[in-house]
């Protein structure tokens, strides 16, 4: 674990990355915990990622967060991986080791903490649908299965991806691949939008009446990108709706714990981000 008094360097790498809230989140965590660190947002093109990570390691940087489009490509650039990263096939957190980068994935832990601790949502015994089969969906499925839902359905616009993902995760619990339209007639206690459709002002094409009584709608996106799905969910009768801002802060908190061995207080940071 790095020395709390020696300034350590961290960053989020992405393209684009200027919009990232991670520098603010980690600055607040560091201040709370009296940790001496610098955290920046650095734009890196996909073609430059391998060279950049090798150079950062040689310069002594302690860790990175990865955002679009690097999460999957960075898998091959890590010396070692956590089980979470291997299951997700994607890394969002890099931790320095002397031999190279250790890749982890904190998205699923972040989501489950936001749902269960911050929103008071019970996963155990519930019927859950995850929409989308990209890197984010892959990262959240195993942690959701660990909470023992009655059934975890994964559905996607491209119908083949859920089949492959569900086959790989079958040993972990009751996971069922579906298409969006085949959900017609089903009812879910929790529907999680893990698609990027909201960035284009869209929602996945879904049949109506999917929410059971008292159901929760959760969108991994936040800000404007969460509005289409959460608006649709409200109109469809979801009782609780939430965007993914809490998940963003919780996945960052888990990365901070991996780097610094300290669990930050997330509530104040979520509240500050909500105020804009």
Active site residues: 71
Q: How far is the CB of 80 from ligand NDP (least distance, A)?
A: 22
Query: Is 207 within 8 Å of 183 (Cβ atoms)?
Result: yes
Q: Which is nearer to ligand NDP, 229 or 259 (CB)?
A: 229
Is 251 a binding residue for ligand NDP by CB under 6 A? The answer is yes
Q: Please report, for residues 40, 61, 84, the alpha-carbon distance to residue 23 in angstroms, rounded to integers and kept in the order given.
A: 6, 15, 24
Is 14 a binding residue for ligand NDP by CB under 6 A? The answer is no
Terminal alpha carbon distance of the chain: 33
Q: What are phi and psi of 62, to 5 degrees?
A: -95, -25
79: DSSP letter:
S
Query: Is 175 within 8 Å of 169 (Cβ atoms)?
Result: yes
Cis-peptide, bond into residue 145, ω within 30° of zero: no
Q: How far is the CB of 47 from ligand NDP (least distance, A)?
A: 18
Which residues make Cβ contacts (< 8 Å) with residue 171, sequence separation at least 6? none
Is 20 a binding residue for ligand NDP by CB under 6 A? The answer is no
Q: Which stretch binds ligand NDP (CB under 6 A): 22-30, 45-53, 74-82, 156-164?
A: 156-164
What is the pattern of x (binds ligand NDP, CB under 6 A) and - over residues 167-186? --------------------
Cis-peptide, bond into residue 69, ω within 30° of zero: yes
What is the pattern of x (binds ligand NDP, CB under 6 A) and - over residues 111-130? --------------------
Torsion, Cα of 209, 213, 214, 217 (10° steps): -20
Q: Which stretch binds ligand NDP (CB under 6 A): 52-60, 78-86, 154-162, 230-238?
A: 154-162
Is 137 a binding residue for ligand NDP by CB under 6 A? The answer is yes
Q: How far is the CB of 221 from ligand NDP (least distance, A)?
A: 5
Is 30 a binding residue for ligand NDP by CB under 6 A? The answer is no
48: DSSP letter:
G
Is 274 a binding residue for ligand NDP by CB under 6 A? The answer is no
Query: Is the torsion defined by CA of 204, 221, 108, 38 positive or negative?
Result: positive
Q: How far is the CB of 194 from ligand NDP (least distance, A)?
A: 5
Out of 17, 78, 133, 241, the residue judged to bind ligand NDP by CB under 6 A: 133
Is 106 a binding residue for ligand NDP by CB under 6 A? The answer is no
Separation between Cα atoms, residue 216 and residue 194, nearest integer Å: 14
Write out the DSSP string of 70-102.
STTGGGGG-SEE-HHHHHHT--SEEEEETTEEE
Q: How far is the CB of 262 from ligand NDP (least distance, A)?
A: 20
Site for ligand NDP in 231-250 (CB under 6 A): 244, 247-248
Out of 48, 83, 164, 202, the residue judged to bind ligand NDP by CB under 6 A: 202
Residues that bind ligand NDP in the complex, under the rule CB under 6 A: 107, 110, 132-137, 156-158, 161, 194-197, 199, 202, 204, 220-221, 225, 244, 247-248, 251
């Amino acid at each position: 674990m790095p020395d709390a008094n020696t300034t350590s360097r961290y960053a989020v790498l992405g393209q684009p990355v200027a919009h990232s809230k991670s520098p603010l989140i980690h600055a607040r965590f560091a201040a709370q915990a009296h940790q001496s660190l610098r955290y920046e947002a650095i734009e890196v093109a996909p073609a430059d990622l391998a060279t950049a990570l090798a150079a950062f390691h040689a310069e002594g940087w302690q860790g990175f967060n990865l955002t679009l489009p690097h999460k999957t490509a960075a898998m091959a650039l890590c010396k070692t991986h956590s089980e979470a990263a291997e299951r997700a096939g994607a890394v969002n957190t890099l931790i320095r080791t002397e031999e190279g980068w250790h890749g982890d994935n904190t998205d699923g832990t972040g989501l489950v903490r936001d749902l269960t601790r911050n929103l008071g949502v019970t996963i155990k015994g519930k019927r859950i649908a995850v929409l989308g089969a990209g890197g984010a969906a892959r990262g959240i499925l195993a942690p959701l299965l660990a909470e023992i839902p009655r059934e975890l359905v994964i559905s996607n616009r491209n119908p083949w991806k859920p089949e492959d993902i569900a086959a790989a995760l079958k040993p972990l619990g009751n996971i069922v691949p579906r298409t969006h339209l085949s959900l017609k007639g089903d009812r879910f206690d929790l529907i999680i939008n893990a698609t990027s459709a909201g960035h284009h002002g869209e929602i996945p094409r879904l049949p109506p009446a999917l929410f059971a009584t008292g159901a929760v709608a959760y969108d991994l996106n936040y800000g404007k990108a969460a509005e289409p799905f959460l608006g649709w969910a409200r109109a469809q009768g979801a009782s609780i709706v939430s965007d993914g801002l809490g998940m963003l802060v919780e996945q960052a908190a888990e990365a901070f714990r991996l780097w610094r061995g300290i669990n930050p207080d997330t509530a104040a940071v979520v509240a500050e981000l909500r105020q804009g």
